[in-house]
Amino acid sequence: MAGSSFGNKITITTWGESHGAALGVVIDGFPAGLSLCEEDIQIYLDRRKPGQSKYTTQRAEGDKVEILSGVFEGHTTGTPISLMVRNNDQHSKDYGNIANTFRPGHADFGFYEKFGRRDYRGGGRSSGRETIGRVAAGAICAKLLRELGIEVFAYTKSIGDVSISEFELGERDLNSVAMPDAFAAKAAEEYLDACIMNQDSAGGVVECVVTGVPAGIGDPVFDKLDAKLAQALVSIGAVKGVEIGDGFAAAKSTGKLNNDEFEIFDDKIIKSTNHSGGILGGISDGDDIIVRAAIKPTPSISQMQHTVNEKGEEVDIEIHGRHDPVIVPRAVVVIEAMCAITICDAMLSHMTDRVEYIKEFYKN
Amino acid sequence: MAGSSFGNKITITTWGESHGAALGVVIDGFPAGLSLCEEDIQIYLDRRKPGQSKYTTQRAEGDKVEILSGVFEGHTTGTPISLMVRNNDQHSKDYGNIANTFRPGHADFGFYEKFGRRDYRGGGRSSGRETIGRVAAGAICAKLLRELGIEVFAYTKSIGDVSISEFELGERDLNSVAMPDAFAAKAAEEYLDACIMNQDSAGGVVECVVTGVPAGIGDPVFDKLDAKLAQALVSIGAVKGVEIGDGFAAAKSTGKLNNDEFEIFDDKIIKSTNHSGGILGGISDGDDIIVRAAIKPTPSISQMQHTVNEKGEEVDIEIHGRHDPVIVPRAVVVIEAMCAITICDAMLSHMTDRVEYIKEFYKN
Amino acid sequence: MAGSSFGNKITITTWGESHGAALGVVIDGFPAGLSLCEEDIQIYLDRRKPGQSKYTTQRAEGDKVEILSGVFEGHTTGTPISLMVRNNDQHSKDYGNIANTFRPGHADFGFYEKFGRRDYRGGGRSSGRETIGRVAAGAICAKLLRELGIEVFAYTKSIGDVSISEFELGERDLNSVAMPDAFAAKAAEEYLDACIMNQDSAGGVVECVVTGVPAGIGDPVFDKLDAKLAQALVSIGAVKGVEIGDGFAAAKSTGKLNNDEFEIFDDKIIKSTNHSGGILGGISDGDDIIVRAAIKPTPSISQMQHTVNEKGEEVDIEIHGRHDPVIVPRAVVVIEAMCAITICDAMLSHMTDRVEYIKEFYKN
Amino acid sequence: MAGSSFGNKITITTWGESHGAALGVVIDGFPAGLSLCEEDIQIYLDRRKPGQSKYTTQRAEGDKVEILSGVFEGHTTGTPISLMVRNNDQHSKDYGNIANTFRPGHADFGFYEKFGRRDYRGGGRSSGRETIGRVAAGAICAKLLRELGIEVFAYTKSIGDVSISEFELGERDLNSVAMPDAFAAKAAEEYLDACIMNQDSAGGVVECVVTGVPAGIGDPVFDKLDAKLAQALVSIGAVKGVEIGDGFAAAKSTGKLNNDEFEIFDDKIIKSTNHSGGILGGISDGDDIIVRAAIKPTPSISQMQHTVNEKGEEVDIEIHGRHDPVIVPRAVVVIEAMCAITICDAMLSHMTDRVEYIKEFYKN
């Protein structure tokens, strides 16, 4: 399978470039019978839409989704769900030297070496707009997960050096940086204002918590639940690191401190602590699943940078145009989407793990 | 594809349990014509073999590999290469309360919830012995990569709080903790001695450097080179985090500082710095590829722990037997193997990226 | 991978229903650098377009294709090519009893049992319109194959009892039944006229010949070139059988008669005969590849039929509307498309079969 | 995924060559909890074992299977099941001119062109011995299917011109040609005796009937149940054609005659006839699934044949050694195995087709 698809039972395939006619996704293998309309998806797309604060690109896109197939009489039919968003605000400008210059920190050089050519308009396929398909697919998977009692909730944990120190769930959607901490959000905004002033950009960390996943989900070897989550998150443009549970801190801990003891609570087996982040040996342990992604600073900055062009000449460039000084807040919904897709796929996969399940299913 | 396989062009499938008859791997899609004998593989397996220092389990396994198919007259034939290692030292002991108790920090509970049963002997499929198949396959991929001028080299970067501060390539194989820094190695050994004394265990960080990968390798979306490396590394038992290049530190940097500028050196496009860790937008940028994996402390510790058994009773257990107080040094070759497999697969995939390549290949 | 995708290196994913908003295909993994415009694809779509003779449905569809992604400055870029055809002539009629009745010979009952619901409008996903995506993808693969000297040519071999007895390549596109034999075509048209008069329908056999495929293409076991061609052809709606080379006749032959001897001609190894149909042991043998597909009579017939509805009641139905009395002529281009996709995929796959190829590719 | 694997939920990967150390299969994704021992598998392997009549090769192989993993305390554990059969009777002879000569009707030439080398001993990977892994995996899938009320039964329908005219289920295992018709079996044996006398070989047709598959199994597009069955069957060495239900005869029928009407019987929806062979639109319709495979005459014949060697010289060869004058009777169990694997996989896949199934499964 070529590289624009993800998932085994539910396979999503994204397509589209930043300045092409449209972007979209095909979701194959999604079960029949989920109530679904465009509004269910639009809510998610609106969360990643540009132009919502001064910290995001001012590109004006409605990002209206159209369901092209797979839904009939308000429900999914089991056939591929094709979703499309038209590009509207493709500035038909002269790309000038950007067209044949390799921007530092971008995928330009790699694309050129790989394919021998590239769609240089707005980053082409490597643009953040590629995530539209992911978010649209994630909205649908998240809806199914909710029917199973599973919630996926991501938020900005830090921007630059500013980290949250408290967690108010409702606060996340009230500030421009998606932090569940009003005080930290204000500090982060000040940090970003300084970045903008310096013609510079910032990175940060997004954390995602998934509640309600039962124990026993995930495959034990290469498709460990955390291995697939790691692929899912690192496959997002600017992600340079990922952690599950205590992550890198676990490397400094000891077995005694890091092991989560099991106990009985309310007739159920639970863990006393959650250093594992809800996954042990690649399989969910019934606790909250906790993952984090490190996002690098936006590579497009307006100050002068030194680089090389396609002719092999050294040049200096200034990148003008509409850029996010930080993409972390907009990445929050993308990370939610990827977690939802990954977990939804693993939930379906588990249903055939035991002969007793199969016999029960086919018993009549 | 079920979860014991990895790779697209070259697909490896591992099988086997800690105390079953044998463990092994089938490598399908490997090209014909590589000179290969058992010794090529044994060198790698010997690096992960138990019993080589006081910091590793004293289980006595020769771990001798047998090539069962896919090699004829000293060369690979293009057909599946089947490799097997017999288990010899399966203590046929009474597993006692371990047999039906969920050990903290282990996959026991997840396996039981997933499959309704589990091979409790030595962790069964979730044992570190599963990595035998990975290392054997990695040895073969690494051999092919060397013929293309690519070297994969991993080492222990830290154990507990002890980090390396210098890099002497030859030193790695001279100490028991696989650190390329003799002084740090000594400090790490002291730290581990204290762990053993406390009936506790340690974790650490392994770093892997891949040199010689040309620019243009990797797929732009879900199969980004770093996304597949992340899956590859997190799929190893105890890994709880992964970083590419500057990793989590990048999240605190700024665009100006984090972007690697391009320049011309010796008629070749190179980067002035390597914050990216050799991968931009999921595609290699021609620089060294640098990844790190955080490994949690070994969960098997001999001090008393509280937990629950299969009947749902709370119990206290002491885990006796042969355990590694740290698995980091033995994980080094596993991480090399997974990186070699991932990169080898991506190198083959690139060969069909352009129509001009295809026409050149079939020109006669 | 869910079931709407086909191919390994080049993966196509089709989507869309007969009376939904649109139908389309995403082609992932297609190499960069092929000159491509909508007209290249339209030529193929026009060959399967309805309403071109009295033997095909009178539904009025322009079937105009739109390239939504993956093409820039007139060439493929290596990123997913998304193609879409809008549905225009969706009769917004009352489907009456058809809506909840299982039509004999159709997929209605299976869909309902599988998914618990179905898009009953025009057969939904099981409509022949699903092949639009296949034909569009096939047009692109066929264009690439032509650049490698490979031609894919299919034609009607028989309709009902009327078989061709000569082969005039140019004749195929001059008659309404796609037969390369004017005399047989006339007889077939008379047979079809009788079918229409009887409110009945006809089936037939399509043969496809692929010239120019070098020896050595295809994988030896489950992905044998003929096994993938068989899947490709039987995956087309009404196909009930497939043959390679002598096919079922080979079962009655003997080894002496059926073996093709090798000989040297013009310094090249060729076969004296071609009973094998160009494939031995799943690998191309350098000769013309010859496959045939048996297509059942169109199940939609206007005479009264007995059946059952969703309530489990026996009912009689008459299927009115726009139906093809035979789909064989329109299936010709679909079969060409599926053969082109399958062979194109296998051609790319072969490029990594030998270490020497890989070393040659990366030699600089 | 490289070409030695088959199946989505349950993925089998075969490995091994005719004269290598061993042959085997890894079955990944098989559910936990099936009672399984080596004898369950051996029964199937014994049916394909050589040397059981004068019509099969006299190679002396016990073909004893060893379960290496995935089974614990008499039940499958959900982890990969690795099965191995050692080769014993590898005549360590001088292969003489066969070693570098392309035998007519064999895969030799294709392998050589593909891989640039080949294991010429007994056909290497293209030997019929590759089917050992298929049969072993098929035995396990068939056992699971029986627990679901599904039986897979194949038999020889014809050899050369001799076809069965009656069907006595118990008779199949009483004659040397696996025909469920004692009279036809005798005629077939006479036909084969004549073939042997003429130093020639014979082909035939195998039919497989699967009873008990509920309606609703199979995927609607590329992974249609019949498309996967077609791939499964054509992937067996000598198969040159495949039919579902009426197959090629359907191409000559009419819609009225070929459509199976639905009716109610015993409160269940059934079909009055079964021209479809139990599959409509790629989905099972609840009726018996009926497929047929055309098997070509064994290409190894002892009379002189003309061919070419690796140096490009024309030569005459006589193929001595142990060959089956007909492989049809031994192919019967291979075809059963491939049908069992395909249907088992599709049965598991169906369990996630509806949101209601998923909610029911996770309701607690």
Residue in chain A nearest D347 by alpha carbon: A358
pLDDT band at A99 (very low <50, low <70, confident <90, very high): confident
Q: Looking at B49-58, B198-207, C351-360, which range is the least confident one?
A: B49-58
Mean pLDDT computed over A12-30 = 97
pLDDT digits (tens, 9 = 90+) for A305-353: 999 999 999 999 988 776 789 999 999 999 999 999 999 999 999 999 9
Has residue A136 got a pLDDT over 60?
A: yes
pLDDT band at C2 (very low <50, low <70, confident <90, very high): confident
Residue to mutate among C8, C17, C79, with most A CBs inside 10 A, is C79
The verdict on C318 touching D (C-beta cutoff 8 Å) is: no
Give dist(CA A46, CA C256) in Å, integer: 70
At residue D250, the pLDDT reads 98
Residues of chain D with Cβ-Cβ distance to B125 below 8 Å are 77, 79
At residue C98, the pLDDT reads 79
B residues 119-158 lying closer than 8 A (beta carbon) to D: 119, 121, 124-125
- Which residue in A5, A73, A121 is closest to C28 by CB distance? A5
Has residue B107 got a pLDDT over 60?
A: yes
**Residue C68 token pair:** 């939504």
pLDDT digits (tens, 9 = 90+) for A43-92: 999 998 877 777 777 666 789 999 999 999 999 999 999 999 999 876 65
Has residue B172 got a pLDDT over 80?
A: yes
Mean pLDDT computed over B239-267 = 97
> What percent of chain A shows pLDDT beyond 70?
96
**Total beta-carbon pairs less than 8 A apart between chain B and chain D:** 169
The alpha-carbon gap from B173 to the nearest alpha carbon of chain D, in Å, equals 33
pLDDT digits (tens, 9 = 90+) for D119-136: 999 889 999 999 999 999
pLDDT band at D36 (very low <50, low <70, confident <90, very high): very high
Mean pLDDT computed over C100-125 = 94
Residue to mutate among C240, C332, C351, with most D CBs inside 10 A, is C240
Those chains having 3 or more beta-carbon pairs within 8 angstroms of chain A are B, C, D
The verdict on B359 touching C (C-beta cutoff 8 Å) is: yes
At residue C58, the pLDDT reads 65
Q: Which residue has the higher pLDDT, B89 or D23?
A: D23
Sequence letter at residue A33: G
Q: Which residue has the higher pLDDT, C326 or A57?
A: C326
At residue B58, the pLDDT reads 65
Give dist(CA D140, CA D26) in Å, integer: 12
Mean pLDDT computed over B345-349 = 98
- Which residue in A2, A113, A283 is closest to B111 by CB distance? A283
Residue in chain A nearest C125 by alpha carbon: A79
- CA D35 remoteness from chain centre: 24
Mean pLDDT computed over D339-351 = 98
State if pTM tops 0.90: yes
pLDDT band at B94 (very low <50, low <70, confident <90, very high): low
SS (H, E, C) chain A: CCCCEECCCCEEEEEECCCCCEEEEEEECCCECCECCHHHHHHHHHHHCCCCCCCCCCCCCCCCEEEEECEECCEECCCCEEEEEECCCCCCCCCHHHHHEECCCCCHHHHHHHHCCCCCHHHHHHCHHHHHHHHHHHHHHHHHHHHCCCEEEEEEEEECCEECCCCCHHHHHHCCCCCCCHHHHHHHHHHHHHHHHCCCCECEEEEEEEECCCCCCCCCCCCCHHHHHHHHHHCCCCEEEEEECCHHHHHHCEHHHHCCCEEEECCEEEECCCCCCCEECCEECCCCEEEEEEECCCCCCCCCEEEEECCCCEEEECCCCCCCCCCHHHHHHHHHHHHHHHHHHHHHHHCCCEHHHHHHHCCC
pLDDT digits (tens, 9 = 90+) for C293-318: 999 999 999 999 999 999 999 999 98
Give dist(CA A214, CA A206) in Å, integer: 24
The alpha-carbon gap from C17 to the nearest alpha carbon of chain D, in Å, equals 12
Q: Average pLDDT over chain B, rounded to whole?
A: 94
Q: Which residue has the higher pLDDT, C92 or B18?
A: B18
Has residue A167 got a pLDDT over 90?
A: yes
pLDDT band at D54 (very low <50, low <70, confident <90, very high): confident
Q: Average pLDDT over chain A, rounded to whole?
A: 94
At residue D58, the pLDDT reads 65
Q: Which residue has the higher pLDDT, D255 or C58?
A: D255
The verdict on A304 touching D (C-beta cutoff 8 Å) is: no
At residue A236, the pLDDT reads 98
Give dist(CA D149, CA D145) in Å, integer: 6
Residues of chain D with Cβ-Cβ distance to C260 below 8 Å are 104-105
At residue A90, the pLDDT reads 66
Mean pLDDT computed over B158-168 = 97
Cβ distance of A15 and C117 shorter than 8 Å? no
At residue B258, the pLDDT reads 98
Establish whether this prediction's ipTM goes over 0.90: yes
At residue C134, the pLDDT reads 98
Mean pLDDT computed over C3-17 = 97
The verdict on B86 touching D (C-beta cutoff 8 Å) is: no
The answer to whether B308 and A270 have CB atoms below 8 angstroms apart is no
Q: Average pLDDT over chain D, rounded to whole?
A: 94
The verdict on B113 touching D (C-beta cutoff 8 Å) is: no
pLDDT band at D92 (very low <50, low <70, confident <90, very high): low
At residue C319, the pLDDT reads 85
At residue D94, the pLDDT reads 62
> What percent of chain A shows pLDDT beyond 90?
88
SS (H, E, C) chain D: CCCCEECCCCEEEEEECCCCCEEEEEEECCCECCECCHHHHHHHHHHHCCCCCCCCCCCCCCCCEEEEECEECCEECCCCEEEEEECCCCCCCCCHHHHHEECCCCCHHHHHHHHCCCCCHHHHHHCHHHHHHHHHHHHHHHHHHHHCCCEEEEEEEEECCEECCCCCHHHHHHCCCCCCCHHHHHHHHHHHHHHHHCCCCECEEEEEEEECCCCCCCCCCCCCHHHHHHHHHHCCCCEEEEEECCHHHHHHCEHHHHCCCEEEECCEEEECCCCCCCEECCEECCCCEEEEEEECCCCCCCCCEEEEECCCCEEEECCCCCCCCCCHHHHHHHHHHHHHHHHHHHHHHHCCCEHHHHHHHCCC
At residue D30, the pLDDT reads 98
Has residue D350 got a pLDDT over 80?
A: yes
Cβ distance of B11 and D2 shorter than 8 Å? yes
Has residue B328 got a pLDDT over 80?
A: yes
At residue C323, the pLDDT reads 75
pLDDT digits (tens, 9 = 90+) for B10-62: 999 999 999 999 999 999 999 999 999 999 999 999 998 877 777 777 666 78
Cβ distance of C248 and D230 shorter than 8 Å? no
Mean pLDDT computed over D331-355 = 98
At residue C221, the pLDDT reads 97
Cβ distance of D22 and B67 shorter than 8 Å? no
At residue A11, the pLDDT reads 98
Has residue D95 got a pLDDT over 80?
A: no
At residue D90, the pLDDT reads 66
pLDDT digits (tens, 9 = 90+) for D279-325: 999 999 999 999 999 999 999 999 999 999 999 999 999 887 767 89
The verdict on B294 touching C (C-beta cutoff 8 Å) is: no
At residue C94, the pLDDT reads 63
Has residue C263 got a pLDDT over 80?
A: yes
The verdict on D31 touching A (C-beta cutoff 8 Å) is: yes
Has residue A269 got a pLDDT over 90?
A: yes
pLDDT digits (tens, 9 = 90+) for A188-225: 999 999 999 999 999 999 999 999 999 999 999 999 99
pLDDT digits (tens, 9 = 90+) for D172-203: 999 999 999 999 999 999 999 999 999 999 99
**Total beta-carbon pairs less than 8 A apart between chain C and chain D:** 389
